[in-house]
Structure formats: structure tokens, C-alpha cells
Structure 1
Amino acid sequence: MSEASPIRVVVADDQAMIRVGLRMVVESEPGMEVVGEAADGVEAVAVVRRCRPDVVLMDISMPRMDGLTAARQLLDAPHPPKIVMLTTFDTDENLYAALRAGTSGFLLKVSPPEQLVEAIRVVAGGDGLLDPAVTTRVIASFAGRHEPVRPPQLAELTPRELEVLRTLARGLTNAEIAGELFVGEATVKTHVARVLMKLNLRDRAQAVVFAYESGVVRPGAAG
């Protein structure tokens, strides 16, 4: 355990006090380190490309370039980091756009320190969805405003993979999916990887968006 590499984190927020607070929380946690900071979106892109972190804590509202635009630029590049959007509200339409773009989720700025630490661990591990209840609620709320469109890629999924996609849409972790489908976690990991690959999705959060927008699940039917 002690030989594991620390989770490398970049903090991007235009308020210096917020950055200081986030740095203190992250660096007080064993196995995590802050490798860079940024005060706006332009700087965030440059710092991330230079420092190559595992996780970026990205304020959604920043000068020069907002966090959503910065996130899109980073996610479009090879080997992107996991990005957690920092926000004041959890119902902002920008959050839905961020999830569609491939960010791993969002965190309220008023969240307690232990929730921040857990968020970093969850997205760095990639086996779960950050704050599944809130994330699925935001996605269902915005996706439900439009008629679902069934993309042709859905036909590439096997019945089991479609079943896995439905469990992802409910925000289940790999361990929870394994328990529900009576298979091993390694098998679940393989299924999840194939679902993301076949549907050309970056993350579990994007899989939830896809499931709702394609009509694989309907708002109110995934819990």
C-alpha cells in the first residue's frame, strides 16, 4: 500500500482562499498531493498539460476561460485526467453539459473535507460514480426534457452489456453491479470497459447521460 503512487491533483479556482483551502484538505490526506494550481481556465489548461495530474478540481466559473471550456479542451487531448467540477449549485445546466463532455462529476464548494477526499478517490479509481444520487438526478432532469434518440451503437451491445449499462445509469459501483448480476468484480470491470469502448464514452458519468438520452432508461425508472 505504501508503495502506491500518490494521487496527483491540480486545483483550479479564481479565488485564492478556495485554492488554499482545497490544497490544505488534499495535502492533509495520505496518498494525495497537489502538483499545481490555476486561477483561470487558460492557466488550468497549461498547468494540467505541464503537471499531468490524475485528478483536476475545476471551478466551473472562472475568468479568461470558464471551467467547462477548459475541461473540454483537456478531455479532447490524449490521456486526459479525471475532472471534478466545483460549483455553488447542483442544478446548473452547465453541470449537465460538463457531464456530457466527459467530466467525472461535480462537487459543491460547501462540501465537507471528507467528501472532497472521497470524491478524489472515487474518480481516480474509476469504479464508481461521484455522488450518484445527485448526479443521476441532474442528468435525468435535463435529459428528460428531450425525446430520446436511439444511436446505432446501441446495437453493438450484447444483452449482458445492455444490462450493465442500465446498472451504470443507476449509479452503481462495480461491487454493487457484481452483487446484483451474480458475477465477479473483474467480470464487471471487463463489461464496463467494453460498454464505454463500444459507445465511445470516456467515463461512467457519460454512460449515465447516454443511457438517459438514448432511452435505455427513463427519468424516474432508474432508481
Structure 2
Amino acid sequence: MIHSRPFVSQSNPARREHNGTSSITLVLADQHLLFRQALRHYLETEQGMRVVGETGDGFNLASLVELRRPDVVLVDSALPGLDIAGTIRRIKMKCPGVRIVMLSLVGDRDTFLSAVRAGAEGFLIKDSPVEEVVSAIRQVAEGGSVISPALTGVLLREFRRLSALQEGVPPVGLTLREIQLLRLVAAGLSNKEIAESLCLAESTVKNRLSLLFEKLGVKDRTQAAIYALMHGLLPESEPDYPPGIAESSISTDQSTLHSVG
């Protein structure tokens, strides 16, 4: 497999402070060279913006961001080799000050919710006017969040669905192990990562998650994560991932929390 060679600016790594004179530094990640070049050219004509790196695949994106430490990363959701949730988590863990904006040709529900859940600050449809992209970059660089209007309905529908599920029905009793699994799913970990964290077989994790989803009345990982959020099952502060929760912190699979949320 041929990986594209990333462009890296020869200047010093990006500054983290923003004031009247400092630039918003950017890394661009898109598989189409012409699109990257056109976007880069346009952004660098904007006052106070500077591209410090770019890449055409997802294999080296996190490493490039760690090297350049930009203020904002623009990422094509269809980038070859991109593990959306995993890459965002790695960037956030290594470079917590970096802000991430995803670009997508279509408003895919699962891709959108996966990116937002993992920590992306923005998600834009790729045919948005370039002025909106510039505005979004400035907004997230200052600590805000941006979502294309076409995608806000996705969030509303998920919350409404789970709100309807919650009304009049108390949360089901969950064992501490089930809550643990639910938290790992909400953190965006794959079955393999969960298995490694808990020292279980991947097939065991898959079976337990199937039973858990059936118990919660949810169809997939995204709905399970939103369920955990709405019922107050997520920790107050995010631990480092992969979490590696000690087995000693879980009493037994039979220990049940009957009143959750």
C-alpha cells in the first residue's frame, strides 16, 4: 500500500497562544491533492491563518499533528486509512489543545456521531461555502464548536429517541461489569481494544455487548453511548484511554446497580 508523503512546514511548531498578531495554524488531511492545494491556497490568503502541514492519508495523521501541534486540524472523514474515533482520541490524548473539524461529502449519521463522541469540535458538509469553513476554523480555534445545520437533526433524533425510551421507564438494573463495558463503548473503543483492556477474549466481549444492547433496548454502539450519557453512567472526568480498569475495582458480575442514573 502506498502512503502519501505528508507536507511539513519548515518553520517552528505552531504557537498555542492567540492574540491580535498570532496566526491560527492548521494541518489539512484530505486524500485529494488538488483539493488540499486549493484549500491551502485560499486559507493562506486569509489574514491570520497558516498551514503548517498536510497529508493525504490517515496512517500518519496523528503523528503529523503531534509533530506540528497546530491549532486546528481539518480532516476528510473518508481519508484512506483513517480510524475516525481512534485517531481523534490519540490526538486529544497527545495534544489536548488541538481542535478538530471533520469534513464529509455526506452527512453520514454513524460517522458524524462517532467523531463528535470521540471529541471533534466541528463537523461540516464538504460542499459548504469556503467562507463557512473559514468561519468554522476561527470559531473552533477560539474554543467554540460548529456543526453543519444539515446534521443537527441527527443529534436531535437520537436524543429524542432515547428520551422517549427513558420516559416512564426507569433505567434497567446493570451489573458493575455491564456499566464498565458501556463506558468503554461510549469512549469509542473497539471490541478488540475492550478485550485487551479487560483481559478477555474478543468473542466474549462481542457476546456480552450483544446481550447488553438487547438489555438496554439499543441497536448499536452510538445509541448505547447516548444511553450512557443520558442516564449519568459516564465518569465525571475522562480517564486516559485505553483505560485499563483494574479488575479489583469490579466486585463480581453478579453485583447489580438497581438504581442507575
TM-score class, shorter-chain normalisation, is 0.5 to 0.7
Partners of 1:120 and 1:133 lie apart in 2 by 16
Is contact 1:60–1:66 with CA below 8 Å preserved after alignment? no
Runs of 4+ in 1 over 6 A off after TM superposition: 209-212
Q: TM-score, normalised by structure 2?
A: 0.53
Residues 1:117 and 2:130 are matched in the alignment: no
Query: In the TM superposition, what is the alpha-carbon distance from 1:77 to its structure 2 partner?
Result: 2.4
Structure 1 residue 133 displacement after superposition: 3.8
For 2:148 and 2:41, locate their aligned partners in 1 and report how far apart those are by CA, in whole Å.
26
Q: Cα gap change, 1:211/1:65 in structure 2, threshold over 3 Å: closer, same or farther?
A: closer
Q: How many residues align?
A: 157
Supply the distance in 2 between the matched residues of 1:132 and 1:114 (Cα, whole angstroms). 13
Q: Higher helix proportion, which one?
A: 1
- 1:215 offset after TM fit, Å? 7.1
Structural mapping, 1:52-201, within 5 Å: 52-126=69-143, 128-131=144-147, 133-146=149-162, 147=165
Distance change in 2, residues 1:2/1:136 (3 Å): closer
Distance 2:154 2:90 in 1: 23
> How much does 1:78 deviate?
4.3
- 1:4 equivalent to 2:21? Answer yes
The alpha carbon displacement at 1:211 in A equals 11
**TM-score, normalised with respect to structure 1:** 0.61
Paired AA for residue 64 in structure 1: G
Equivalent-residue separation in structure 2 for 1:139 and 1:76 (angstroms): 25
The Cα of 1:47 is off from its aligned counterpart by: 1.0
Q: 1:32 to 1:210 in 2, by over 3 A?
A: farther
The structural deviation recorded for 1:2 is 8.1
CA distance in 2, matches of 1:63, 1:14: 7
| Runs of 5+ unmatched residues, structure 2 | 1-17, 172-224, 233-261
Q: Is 1:50 aligned with 2:71?
A: no
Contact map agreement 1:74 1:80 (CA 8 A) in 2: no
Q: Counterpart of 1:121 in 2: which secondary structure?
A: helix
- Tell me how far apart the structure 2 counterparts of residues 64 and 2 of structure 1 sit (CA, whole Å): 36
* Deviation string, structure 1 residues 183-203 (Cα, Å, up to 9, x no partner): xxxxxxxxxxxxxxxxxxxxx
The equivalent position to 1:22 in structure 2, one of 17, 39, 42, is 39
- In structure 1, what is the Cα distance between the partners aligned to 2:122 and 2:151? 7
Tell me the distance in 2 between the aligned counterparts of 1:60 and 1:44. 12
| Same amino acid, percent of matched pairs | 35
Q: Tell me, in whole angstroms, the C-alpha distance in 1 between the residues paired with 2:39 and 2:88.
A: 19
Q: 1:56 to 1:2 in 2, by over 3 A?
A: closer
Alignment of 1:202-221 (within 5 A): 213-214=229-230
Larger Rg: 2
Note the C-alpha offset of 1:210: 7.1
The alpha-carbon distance between structure 1 residues 212 and 132, as it changes in their structure 2 partners (threshold 3 A), is: farther
The SS at the match of 2:106 is coil
